[in-house]
Structure formats: C-alpha cells, structure tokens
Structure 1
Amino acid sequence: MKQFIDWDVALSTAKTLMPAGPAISGGEAARIVEELRIAGGQGLVEAEKISQLASIGPSTTLVVDRAGWAKAVSQNFQAMLPAGIEVPGAVPLIAGAELGAVLAVLGTRVLGQFDPYAGPRLLLNAPTITQIRGELNLNARDFYLWIATHEQTHRLQFEHAPWIPGVMKQILGTIFEPLAGSENSKLELGARFKAMKSEVSELTSIMSVLEGHAMVVMNDVTSIGSIKTIRRRFEARGENRSVIAALLGKLLGVEAKALQYKRGAKFVRHIVDEIGYEGFNTIFTSRELFPSADELDHPERWLARTR
C-alpha cells in the first residue's frame, strides 16, 4: 500500500506541466528577488500596524521560482493532511497526478503563500508576481508590498491563533482516516466530505475568516500610492483563491464556490467597522470565537454572541 497521495508524482507532474515564467535577464531577476525580499519585511510592518497584531515568532521569507513554489506547497499540503492513510491500487498515483495538474495551473496564478505546517515560512512566487504585474501594468514596488502585506497577515494570524493548524488537521483527519485500506477511497472521500456538514462548515468558516481578514488588511495599507489601481485591476482579473482551498476543492470534489472567501472579507470589514481591529482580534483567542456559517453571513449575530 501507498499513502493516499503520491507526492513524488504530484511534484513531478506540476514541474512538467507548469511553464517557467516570463523570460527576463539574470540582472533583472536578481533585482526583482531583492525587491520582493525587501517587500516581505515591509509587508510585516504594514500588517502589524494595520491589524494591531504584533509578530511573536520567527519566520523565513523565500522568494522562489515556480518549481520551488510547487515543491514548498506540496510539502505544506503533505504536512497538513493526516499521516499514515494508506490505500491500495492506483489511487495514490491518480490523486498525485490530479494534484500536480492543479499545482501547475495554480503556479501561474497564485502570488504568495504562508506555510504554517512545513514552515513557518512565507513564499513569494517571483515569476508569477512578475508576469501578473506586467499584464496589469502595475507599479512594481506598490504591488510587491500589497502582496507581502496579505501574506504577512496570515503569519500574524497563525502566530496569535496557534490552535488553527491543529484544528484544520484534526478536521481533515476525521475525513481521511476512515478511508485507510479502502479500494474505493477516491469516490468515498468526496461523499464523506459532503456528508460531514458540521466539520466542513467549520473548516470553511476558518479559512474564510483567515483569507477575508488578510484581504481587508492589505486593502487598508495607506502607504501604497497606487492601491486603488491595483485593487481595481486585480479584481477585474478575477479571484485569487487560496492554494490550499483550491487543492482541497479538487481533491475532495467540492464546488469552487464553497471555498470562496468574499463573504469572509465582508464579515471582517463589518466587524472592523463596528469595533475596530483590536476588537476583531479577540476572534483569534479561541476556536469558539470563530463564526458559524450563519454568523459568517450575518456578522451582527456574531457581535451579539461575543460582546
């Protein structure tokens, strides 16, 4: 038997299918890498200032190419899923190839990722950032800072709510663990995910709040002169979903709209407008303070429960 996902197949598939990125000179590439590293540090300063959460732990910032991004994300996802889930047959190869194909697509779209599982580390996908900056004709340093602020906000979230990675892994464990040894595990996985409504609801709520909070913080950066242009052009381009959400959606057979986070941003904006960032930050202190699915769509109900 093999693990549910063949991670070597996933990574090799991603590297094979994913384009390398824009053709630029070595000197220009070095300059972009350095500017992204600087933006990573500045993004933490902005995220701390706006969110009113102070960094309390170490983290590494990695500026990577697309192959490096795929490797790091697959390591993160592997660490996120429960260990020891072995299944017979070709399921691991199929699941690995499917996830690798998804990674290949996401590698051309996802700009950054904070990894609390195999890290903590911040990943900045230099070729994709460069490509999208050029396509949208954006100010480079402003765009880099905007992205870095979003990802550094995720860093602060996990530092102040260290229980979140464990809860997410626990929920995924309850979904995956009964599938060990199953001949039809791939089919059973999607059905099991859809049947576990309360666990799925909590997982979606957590991810929605984390992504929504990072979106609100990045859009509140006043030091980015071209932020209105960035927001307008980036939103016109389409939604940039979390890589973990996209991978889970593919693996579990969940419709994409079930893992979208615009409602998370609406929830966070409502709460911040009502009680400020400092008041909102109580949400990170315990699992019970995260909103239910109903509260996510009706933030006034969350306020009534928690105040």
Structure 2
Amino acid sequence: MNQWIDWDVALSTAKALTPAGPPVDPKKAARIVAQLREAAEIGLEKAERISRIPATGPAEVLVVDRAGWAKAVSQNFAAMMPALPQSPPTVPVIAGAELGAVLSLLSTRVLGQFDPYSGSRLLLNAPTITQIRGEMNLNAKDFYLWIATHEQTHRLQFEAAEWIPGVMRETLASVFAESNGKTRSMSDIAERMKTLRHEVSELTSIMSVLEGHAMAVMNDVHDIATIKTIRQRFAARGQNRGVIATWIGKLLGMDAKARQYERGEKFVRQIVEDRGYAGFNEIFKARENFPNAAELDDPAQWLHRMA
C-alpha cells in the first residue's frame, strides 16, 4: 500500500530515540506483566458496570515495552491513514523520521492505548506505567486498575459507536486530499489541518468527550482504596491523554491545552448528573448525537437538543 509516511523509518527512529525505561529484574517484570493483565480483566468489569456499556466482542491485551508500544502505535497510525492513489515521487522519509521522534517522546508519557484500527487490542505500556507509579509513589495494584479501567472504557466506547474510527479516517483523508502525492512533513500536515475548521472542530469535540467520559468512569471506581491519592498526584502531573488525542494536539499546537479535555469531563459529568450513565450513552448511538463546540461548553444546549 502506498503511504504518506515511511513507517519503517518512523519505527526505526522511535526505537533509536526511545529510552528503555526503569531497570527491572526478570522476576519483578514478570510480576508486573501479570498484575497488568489482571488489572485489564478487572478494569473491563469496572468499566462495564459504571459506564453501563457492555463489551460486545473480544479484545487482545498486549503488555508491551516501549519499543513494542511504538511498533503497535505506528501500526495504528498506518491503519488510520488514507492510501496514496499512486507511488509518491519521493519516499516520505522526513515525515517518517518526524513521527518517529514524536512516538519516542509519547512512549515515555502515554500509559495505555486502545487500538480499534489495526485490530481490537488494548496496549499497556509497562515501562512507562512502572516509571510513573514509582515517581508518584503509588500503590501498584490500585494504579494499574485505575489506568486499565480508563483504557477499557475507550474499548467500550469504540464498540458502542463503531462509526468513530471512520471520522478520524475522513478527517485525515481531507488533510491529504489536496497534496497531489507530494511528501509532507508533520508541519505541513499541521498547517493543512488548521484549514479544516469544521472537520477538526468535530474531531476535537469527539475526542474531548471520549477522554472526558473515560476519566469520569475511572474516577468513579470508588472501591480502589487509594483512588483519592492517585487522583490528586496524577492531576498535578497532567491527565493521561491517549496517543491519538496527544498527536492531534501536537499537530494543532494544543499540546499544553489540557483544558480541551477538562471541558470533556465537565460536559460528561453534567450529563451523567442529569441523566445517569445509561442516559449519557445515547451519545454513542449516532454521530449527530455528539456535541458541537458550543454544546461542549454549555451542556444545557445539548440536553435541550436531545430532549
């Protein structure tokens, strides 16, 4: 398949630049992997119970190192991207190298990711989870469950609204539609995205709600004994935005604008308070049920429209 980005270059760059993570002896590493897998299983049960969204199919759980995470995420991006109608005049090495550098950075920040594009699979980034847990001095099992519940909520979202991945593909297709097969750098991609105000506004609203909903659900797991400590310490660090949301944010110059995702959580909280999680789930039934930018800031408008 002809692609806009040289994925081999992206992956090799990410591997070259990405630090391995904290040193862990083999026995401890095996225990962490087992605990993360257990957390993923329990986290799905918590996410289903709180969100009132049942899982509809199997999903693979991958506990990976940072190199494995970069490989899986590059596969995710490749599956999202539109194909070129013909071979590019030059191999898109620049964009691949730039994306690889971004992946190397994100691999040290992003704890988990649900990938609906290249197979239904949940990725847990073990070295970064271990490093962040140690830096914050958090209870391991509690933290693992909190993170896993967040990522499993994303799984349930995509299963409940199978149209969502198509929106990303549509937006990216629009970004590349007028490039005439020319190699594009990440800055070129960003500039093109900024001209697509309607498409990008819809996409950021959707991502804000998805992240806000996942944060609301994970913070409603009240039987996690140390959840208050986790929330307080993690809030000081910054929210666990998914890799797609973080990447789009970087392209649009939104990397530091956590407010976009705080808006999402506030919106979700108000709808859940008014209608409960079951009532909130109407949002996943159709694309037009998601809020526009104005409704995201004023949930009463959305409630009135959906009455």
- Residue aligned with 2:221, SS: coil
Would you say the 8 A contact 1:44–1:148 is kept in 2?
Answer: yes
Of 174-183 and 12-21, deviating more is 174-183
Q: Distance in 2 between matches of 1:125 and 1:189?
A: 27
Instruction: Sort the Cα spacing of 1:87 and 1:186 in 2 relative to 1 into closer, same or farther, 3 A.
Output: farther
Would you say the 8 A contact 1:99–1:247 is kept in 2?
Answer: no
Would you say the 8 A contact 1:161–1:284 is kept in 2?
Answer: yes
Relative to the length of structure 2, the TM-score reads: 0.94
- Residue aligned with 1:124, SS: strand
Equivalent position of 2:253 in the other structure: 254
Equivalent position of 2:151 in the other structure: 151
Equivalent position of 1:299 in the other structure: 299
Q: CA deviation at 1:192?
A: 2.5
Instruction: Sort the Cα spacing of 1:170 and 1:25 in 2 relative to 1 into closer, same or farther, 3 A.
Output: same
Q: Distance in 2 between matches of 1:305 and 1:231?
A: 33
Equivalent position of 1:84 in the other structure: 84
What is the RMSD computed on CA atoms of the aligned residues? Answer: 1.8
Instruction: Sort the Cα spacing of 1:3 and 1:258 in 2 relative to 1 into closer, same or farther, 3 A.
Output: farther
Q: Mapping of 1:75-114 within 5 angstroms?
A: 75-84=75-84, 87-89=88-90, 92-114=92-114
The reply on whether 1:169 has 2:169 as its aligned counterpart is yes
Q: Distance in 2 between matches of 1:82 and 1:66?
A: 26
Of 177-186 and 256-265, deviating more is 177-186
Equivalent position of 1:267 in the other structure: 267
The one-letter code matched in structure 2 to 1:88 is: P
Of 79-88 and 120-129, deviating more is 79-88
Equivalent position of 1:225 in the other structure: 225
Would you say the 8 A contact 1:87–1:179 is kept in 2?
Answer: no
Q: Distance in 2 between matches of 1:186 and 1:215?
A: 29
Of 159-168 and 191-200, deviating more is 191-200
Structure 1, unmatched stretches of 5+, are none
Equivalent position of 2:22 in the other structure: 22
- Residue aligned with 2:57, SS: coil
Sequence identity (%): 65
- Residue aligned with 2:31, SS: helix
Would you say the 8 A contact 2:4–2:184 is kept in 1?
Answer: no
- Residue aligned with 1:84, SS: coil
The one-letter code matched in structure 2 to 1:299 is: P
- Residue aligned with 1:110, SS: coil
